[in-house]
């Protein structure tokens, strides 16, 4: 494994998967996810929402001639599978497989969003042969986590925790406002009419005198006086030289005109928009 970001580094990770077959599968998935499944794309990235529009899982759907494979980039696939099974009517021509594991490979970039990459699925029993055959530079877990934060890639139990919607998380491009009904559509349509959000995801950078635990949901203040709360931490990772990098939800009204805030135990922190984030 290699922790240095070269031009040809790859994101390799194992994900839970399931397969769907039957003539009603595309229509079925289109009614449960935020993207338009019927555009003919070979791979579709999409969101599975709660009825109230909160992001529940981040999915990637692969279309093959004889079946469709769904992987949970973030989310609990067993919950997704159970929900799918509960939503199938007896008249639907849909068959859902048992869950299985797939390795997913994608070239990483520091210049474009992860959503613009071209991923490849590799079966678990073929991964060793594939890696031996191809001399890929695969990111180690520390470098991968840093890269995902730079991309504002949402993580289960951090950014995906039952309240944040995909628009706040910069995933506007994964929501199709022109297709028919889907789970959480009413909330998405209402938010779009508002034309602005209460809060948005941002990257934050800071330094700490010594490595120690940081509480998720730790408050971020406008300045050292700590009389105005502007947001809170959702995730973080320690880097070299006691640098810390993470994601935070920041109130929209403080995003214009402010590039730094105050975090207890850190002092001043810098914030920036993540590469590829798209908001209303």
Taking only the tens place, the pLDDT of each residue in 216-227 is: 779 999 999 999
Mean pLDDT score, 238-255? 92
Name all domains of the chain by residue range, CATH numbers in brackets. 9-150 (3.30.1360.120), 196-272 (2.40.30.110)
Q: What 3-state class would DSSP assign to 140?
A: coil
pLDDT per residue over 185-243, tens digit each? Answer: 999 999 999 878 999 999 999 988 776 666 677 999 999 999 999 999 999 998 888 88
Mean pLDDT score, 82-87? 97
Q: What is the pLDDT of residue 171?
A: 98
Q: CA-to-CA distance for 166 and 188, rounded, in angstroms? A: 9
Query: 106 near 114, Cβ under 8 Å?
Result: yes
Q: CA-to-CA distance for 274 and 156, rounded, in angstroms? A: 18
Is the pLDDT assigned to residue 28 strictly greater than 70? Answer: yes
C-alpha count within 13 angstroms, C-beta hemisphere, residue 187: 18
Is the pLDDT assigned to residue 32 strictly greater than 50? Answer: yes
φ and ψ at residue 164, rounded to 5 degrees: -80, 135
- Cα separations (Å) of 199 from 61, 173, 202, 269? 29, 17, 10, 18
- Cα separations (Å) of 93 from 28, 90, 97, 180, 181? 10, 8, 13, 20, 20
């Amino acid at each position: 494994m290699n922790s240095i970001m070269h031009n040809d580094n790859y994101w390799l990770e194992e994900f839970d998967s399931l397969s769907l077959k039957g003539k009603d599968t595309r229509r079925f998935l289109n009614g449960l996810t935020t993207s338009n499944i019927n555009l003919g794309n070979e791979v579709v990235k999409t969101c599975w929402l709660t009825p109230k529009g909160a992001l529940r899982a981040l999915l990637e759907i692969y279309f093959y001639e004889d079946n469709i494979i769904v992987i949970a980039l973030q989310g609990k696939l067993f919950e997704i599978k159970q929900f799918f099974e509960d939503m199938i009517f007896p008249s639907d021509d849909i068959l859902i497989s048992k869950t299985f594991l797939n390795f997913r490979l994608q070239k990483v970039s520091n210049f474009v969003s992860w959503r613009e990459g071209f991923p490849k699925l590799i079966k678990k029993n073929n991964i060793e042969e594939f890696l031996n055959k191809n001399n890929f530079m695969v990111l180690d877990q520390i470098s991968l986590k840093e890269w995902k934060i730079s991309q504002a890639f949402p993580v289960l139990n951090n950014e995906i925790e039952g309240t944040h919607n995909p628009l706040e998380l910069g995933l506007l491009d994964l929501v199709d406002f022109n297709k028919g009904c889907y789970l959480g559509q009413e909330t998405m349509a209402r938010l779009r009419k508002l034309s602005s959000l209460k809060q948005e995801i941002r990257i934050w950078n800071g330094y700490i005198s010594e490595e120690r635990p940081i509480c998720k949901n730790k408050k971020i203040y406008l300045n050292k006086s700590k009389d105005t709360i502007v947001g809170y931490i959702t995730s973080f990772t320690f880097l070299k030289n006691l640098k810390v990098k993470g994601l935070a939800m920041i109130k929209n009204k403080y995003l214009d005109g402010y590039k730094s805030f105050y975090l207890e135990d850190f002092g001043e922190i810098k914030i920036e928009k993540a590469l590829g984030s798209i908001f209303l």
